Amino acid sequence: MMSSISEEFSTVILAYPDNPAGWIVMKTFLERKIPVKAVVYEAQSRRKKWNRFKRKVVKDGLMSACWRVRQTLRLRRSSETILDLASRAGIPSIPVGLFNSMECIRLLNSLKPDLLVIASAPILKPEIFQTARLGCLNAHPGWLPEYRGLGANAYALLKGDCPGVSVHFVDAGIDTGPVVIREKLTVRPGDTVDSINDRAVVRGAELLADAVLKVRDHQIVTIKSRTKGKHYKTMPFHEVRKLNNRLKKGGVPDAL
C-alpha cells in the first residue's frame, strides 16, 4: 500500500470541532500523508451545545446522555481540536450553521470532493453525502452489519459476541451502507464499555485512512453479508454499569 496519496484525489472531513474524534482522524490522516482539501465543521455556540445535549436526553435519557458526554471527555487526548491541526497543516476549516442545510450542500458542491469522511456528525441527509464523487465513509464502533447504532459494542458484549469497528459507505439508513473494512477488538483485562469504544475510535481512524487509500487505488471490495443486522440504541446507563462490573470480574463472554 502506498504511503502517500496524489494531490489530485481530494477528501473533505466533516466534524464537530469539540469532538475529539475529529482530532484523532485528522492526526491519523496527516501521519499517513493523506491530503485533506478542507474541514467542514458545524459552528458551535453554548446554546447549540446545550440543545444537542437536550436532544440526547430526550432520545436516550439523562443518564445515557451524561455517559456519552463523559465518554467524549475521556477520549480527549489533547487540548487541541481538529481545527488547530488543520490550521497548522494549512488546511482550510470552513464553518456552516448546520450540516444538514442548503448552505452545507452548496459549500460541498463548490469543493467537489472525491470523498467525504465523517469524523463526527449527525445522521446526514442524502443530499449531503451525495455531493462527493465517490461517496462518504464513516467509522462505526461495532461489527457491521450485525450490530448497528450507538449501542453496538455494548450489546455485542452482552450477547457474548466480540466488539468491533467497521468502516462503511454512508447511505440513507443508519449504519446500513456497504462495509469496506471491519475488525474485531480484543477485550483486555480491566476493560469497560468506554475503554473498548475508545479503542474503536482510534482504530476506526486508522481504518478510515486505509479505506481512503483503497478507494483512491480502486481496490475497494465491499463485504457481503446475508444479514441486515439490528439497530441498537445507546445502552441504558444502569445496564452499562452491570456489564462493566461483569467485565471487571473477569466475566468476559465466551466468544472473546
27-66 tens-digit pLDDT:
999 999 998 999 999 987 667 666 666 666 666 666 666 6
| 97-106: pLDDT as tens digits | 999 999 999 9
Mean pLDDT of 171-197: 95
110 classed as catalytic = no
Q: For residue 253, what pLDDT is reported?
A: 53
The class that CATH gives domain 139-255 is alpha beta
Q: What is the percent of the chain where pLDDT is above 90?
A: 74
pTM of the model: 0.86
End-to-end CA distance of the chain, in Å? 30
Interatomic CA distance for residues 48 and 59, integer angstroms = 16
Interatomic CA distance for residues 111 and 43, integer angstroms = 18
The reply to whether 8-134 and 139-255 are identical in fold is yes
Q: For residue 256, what pLDDT is reported?
A: 45
Please name the fold of domain 8-134.
Rossmann fold (3.40.50)
* Backbone CA torsion sign across 163, 164, 168, 170: positive
245 classed as catalytic = no
204 dihedral zone (left: phi>0; alpha: psi -120 to 50; beta): alpha
The tally of CA atoms less than 13 A away on the side-chain side of residue 10 is 16
Q: For residue 227, what pLDDT is reported?
A: 84
Among 7-11, 13-17, 226-230, top mean pLDDT goes to 13-17
Catalytic residue among 60, 175, 191, 198: 175
109 classed as catalytic = no
Q: For residue 8, what pLDDT is reported?
A: 80
Q: For residue 5, what pLDDT is reported?
A: 44
Contacts of 125-133 with CB under 8 Å at 24 or more apart are 125/100, 126/171, 126/172, 128/99, 128/100, 128/104, 129/170, 129/171, 131/105, 132/12, 132/108
175 classed as catalytic = yes
Catalytic residue among 10, 140, 191, 198: 140
Q: For residue 56, what pLDDT is reported?
A: 63
| 189-219: pLDDT as tens digits | 999 999 999 999 999 999 999 999 999 999 9
Q: Which residue has the higher pLDDT, 3 or 185?
A: 185
The tally of CA atoms less than 13 A away on the side-chain side of residue 9 is 15
Domain boundaries, the chain: 8-134, 139-255
Interatomic CA distance for residues 95 and 41, integer angstroms = 5
State the CB neighbour count (10 A cutoff) for residue 126.
11
Catalytic residue among 138, 153, 197, 198: 138
| Model confidence at 2: pLDDT above 50 | no
Q: For residue 79, what pLDDT is reported?
A: 76
Q: For residue 3, what pLDDT is reported?
A: 36
Mean pLDDT score across all residues of the chain: 88
Q: Which residue has the higher pLDDT, 3 or 143?
A: 143
Catalytic residue among 10, 19, 64, 166: 166
Q: Among the listed ranges 22-26, 87-91, 249-253, which one has the minimum average pLDDT value?
A: 249-253
Among 42-56, 137-151, 228-242, top mean pLDDT goes to 137-151
Q: For residue 228, what pLDDT is reported?
A: 85
